[in-house]
Amino acid sequence: MKTTLVIGGNFAGMTAAMEIKRKAKDQQRVILLDRSQNFLFIPSLIWIPFGRREIRDISFKKKEILEKRSVEFVHTEAINVDPDINTVYTKDGEFQYDDLVVCTGPKVDYDCVPGLRENCCYIGHPDGAMHTRATLEEFKKNPGPIVIGSTQNAGCMGAAYEFLFNLEKWLREQKIRKKVDLYWVTPEDYLGHFGIDGMPLGESMLKAFMKMFNIHYRTEVGIQEVQKDKVILSTGEEIESKFTMLMPQFVGVDFVTNSPKLDATENGYMIVGDDYRSTKYPNVWAAGTAVEVALPFTPGKVPFSIPKTGYPADVTGKVVANNILKVMKGDTNLKKKPWGKIAGICIMDAGKKEVIILSNNLFRPRVIALMIPNVIYDFGKVLFEKYFLWKTKRGYSWLP
């Protein structure tokens, strides 16, 4: 029996682990290591600051679900790996493997901008989302200007857009919108670039949103410094701010950077082929945010990155599972699915409104590329959340 070790257990990790075990059955022992005991539906974190969701609504213990599918779960932190001897070192001992799957997600670089850590909110993890909620409760007692956006090199502009429009709605509900000058700052070349070189009508649609909601915006700007009461842009412009939320740049996790033998970039992302197999070690694989993806566009004045969302993570987890089983059976014709050729399926919440984004390829060229506004309600995003939580809680990893 072969042993596959999966590091990281959210979208890509849980999918890969359960799919390998489902298809291989007794031919594979699958072990998933993760420092978190909980699966977290990250896209819904944007609702936590406004009380529309609680953390318990979008998370659950993963151990029981995995073990029902005969995947062993070990709650520990992986420190590094020596791929020459197929050994992963953790805080709780060593683990041997035949195949290793790295699904570790990203690390937030809070030090990419001076003052970011001390003076800025961040909604990308549960503690940050709850801190943002508490900060907004204090803010509404003495409202003033707000700055929302992303730093240079960020790659998750979509979540920041969602937070912006949900915040604008919250300000109206609190009856303080007229007291707030609301600013959007982004390194994107234009509104709606999203790190995927835009979508048809995307820029004009977002310009219309900004005008409709009276939001000031700056494109092609980085962040020079975040101070307690203002944000200084790369252009030298200073914007007063009593509340600031910026999406920082992501880098690879310590597990990868602490493993110098792995084939990885300087900032800690795994270098793999279109089959998500390491270019250096044939029994090492990566899926989800841990994967290095080349920019599909020429950077503009200010650098920024691509989005690595839950759907591509789920897809790449399935690709890795499929290919590990092919290798096990001696099949060298591995499945290839370049990141940019994964379908673009995204629902951007806009404060109980939404924009449904669909394309046959995430990156250009595309045959199908649609942005469909739904100004009545955000039922699409809610339905997607309910569906994904339902299928994951039941271990239905084969479902799309």
Q: Is 55 left (phi over 0), alpha (psi -120 to 50) or beta?
A: alpha
What value does the mean pLDDT take over residues 63-84? 98
Give the Å distances, CA to CA, from 81 to 11, 70, 88, 108, 235. Answer: 22, 24, 4, 21, 43
Residues 258 and 334 in one domain: yes
Alpha-helical regions (H) of 112-201: 116-119, 126-139, 157-173
What value does the mean pLDDT take over residues 189-193? 97
Q: Give the span between the Cα atoms of 230 and 147, in whole angstroms.
A: 9
Alpha-helical regions (H) of the chain: 11-24, 63-68, 116-119, 126-139, 157-173, 202-212, 254-257, 310-328, 379-393
Residue 376 pLDDT > 90: no
Residue 363 in any domain: the answer is no
What pTM, to 2 d.p., does this model score?
A: 0.96
Residues 178 and 138 in one domain: yes
Which of 249, 270, 305 marks a domain boundary?
Answer: 249
Give the Å distances, CA to CA, from 302 to 34, 185, 221, 224, 364. Answer: 35, 12, 6, 12, 21
Q: Give the span between the Cα atoms of 315 and 246, in whole angstroms.
A: 28
Which of 207, 226, 249 marks a domain boundary?
Answer: 249
Which of 249, 264, 291 marks a domain boundary?
Answer: 249
HSE value, Cβ hemisphere, 13 Å, CA-based, for 140: 17
Q: Give the span between the Cα atoms of 110 and 104, in whole angstroms.
A: 18
User: 239 and 145 in contact (C-beta within 8 Å)?
Assistant: yes
pLDDT per position as a tens digit, 261-317: 999 999 999 999 999 999 999 999 999 999 999 999 998 999 999 999 889 999 999
pLDDT at residue number 352: 85
With bands split at pLDDT 50, 70 and 90, how would you rate the model's confidence at 243?
very high
If one counts the domains in the chain, the total is 2
111 burial level (CB within 10 Å; 0-12, 13-18, 19+) = exposed
What residue numbers bound the domain in which 142 lies?
116-249
The CATH number assigned to the domain holding 179 equals: 3.50.50.60
From edge to edge, which strands make up the β-sheet containing 72-75? 72-75, 28-34, 2-7, 99-102, 284-286
User: 268 and 187 in contact (C-beta within 8 Å)?
Assistant: no
Residue 375 pLDDT > 90: no
pLDDT at residue number 123: 98
